[in-house]
Amino acid sequence: MNLIPIWTIGLLVLLLYALLLVGLELAHRLRPASPLLLRASDVELNRRHGELQITGTLTIHNPHRRMEVFVPEIRLAPTLLGRASLAGVTIDSRITPEHADAPARADGYWAAYIVKGRRSTSARYELTIKAEQDLAALLDTLWLEVKWVNYGPFGRLWRRDGILIPLQRPEPLTQAAARWRIGEHCQVLPLGTHLLGVLDDPISVLREYATPLLEPGDVLTIGETPLAVMQGRYHHPEMVTPTPLARLLCRVFHPTSSLATACGLQSLIDLVGPARVLNAWVLGTLLKLLGQKGWFYRLAGDQARLIDDVTGTTPPYDQTIVLGPEAPQQFCRDAAAALGVGVAVVDVNDLGRVKVLAASAGCDQALLQRALRPNPAGNADERTPLVLVRPAGGETDLKTAP
């Protein structure tokens, strides 16, 4: 009886595995997806006694060269976040198309529209908020969800985009009001901001809240999640279609991991591809059996550690999946050039874990580790995404917190 050589069986297994990877990648690239992009801009707030009017523009762009995509439906779903009970507060919304080649209907009906390849169209929205009490004392933030349909060669897809509109903005901290915390051979100052979103420019936010306090030698840090949401790197789980691979592999992760849900893991697959995720899991498992842990995250890439699943961030992003920031090293270089101090993007938690994702040239990594280990920004709803770090012996006579 002739036996099949072991090396032949090994080659056959490798061939089948390669075919599996090719099949997964093809299915991933051919999955239903719309090229349309939605962007919000030109937001204006007009306050009157007992009324707040918010207007803005939504631009829909089709970057595809040839594909034409229909937008047959679009609707607004506004949610108010307040500082107290919002009983008695009412909100009315309206959206009006501003197509260059089709006039808007007087009755407010959204007529199905085709966005041709490499073309854009826009719409104007208007929200009116009314209350018997002082709105300024009640309202904090508006979370505006845009629910719209994309229809084309990929089928019919519901899209759900969220836009955060701050209704209150804190005053930037002044030198006189700053209360620095004493750290290990350093001083630390958390900086409060408004709730950040896609309408904010990251460098402008740093300039607005930190410029009055900056001195040579300082390092200004920003959390990776606030930077990611300003870059628009979040989405609702409703827009994720888990594949069998995601449903299967998510079960092997610890229940507290952001990859332990089908939508969380599928978000990683959509970023890096199914072949890389499967390879990372196979090799990571083999190395784990040999006593080498953490290799899945090394092989799958930085995004595998940075994804925050539902409940992983502050409201209203707690209902979304937030990805890691895009091009953090370039951001640090640009921000440092604009502000004249070191800038770093960091991931810090209450367990004393500090990971510097990116930093501008000359940043003292050891300093950041010492300063951020107590997590001065917090992991709750402190709204202090920026932390200013100053080496001991800075130019200012620093004060400790009372």
Boundaries of every domain in the chain: 37-166, 181-232+324-391, 237-307
Q: How far apart are the C-alpha atoms of 334 and 315, rounded to whole Å? A: 29
pLDDT of residue 399: 41
Q: Which of 194, 191, 277 is nearest to 229 (CA)?
A: 194
Q: Which of 213, 250, 233, 251 is nearest to 345 (CA)?
A: 233
Contact 377, 361 (CB under 8 A): no
The reply to whether CATH 3.40.630.30 applies to domain 181-232+324-391 is no
**Which segments of the chain have a pLDDT < 70?**
1-3, 393-402
pLDDT of residue 217: 95
Q: Which of 334, 54, 384 is nearest to 193 (CA)?
A: 384
Q: Which one is the CATH code of 37-166: 2.30.30, 3.40.50, 2.60.40, 2.60.120?
A: 2.60.40
pLDDT of residue 401: 38
56-79: burial string, b at 16+ Cβ within 10 Å, e else:
bebebbbebeebebbbeebebebe
Q: How far apart are the C-alpha atoms of 235 and 237, rounded to whole Å? A: 6
How far from 118 is each of 41, 123, 161, 251, 377, CA to CA, in Å? 20, 17, 21, 41, 42
Task: Establish whether domains 37-166 and 181-232+324-391 are of one fold.
Answer: no
Q: Each residue of 336-378: pLDDT tens digit?
A: 999 999 999 999 988 889 999 999 999 999 999 999 999 999 8
Q: Other C-beta atoms within 10 Å of 148: how many? A: 22
Count Cβ atoms within 10 A of the Cβ of residue 123 and give its class: 0-12 exposed, 13-18 middle, 19 or more buried: buried
pLDDT of residue 7: 82
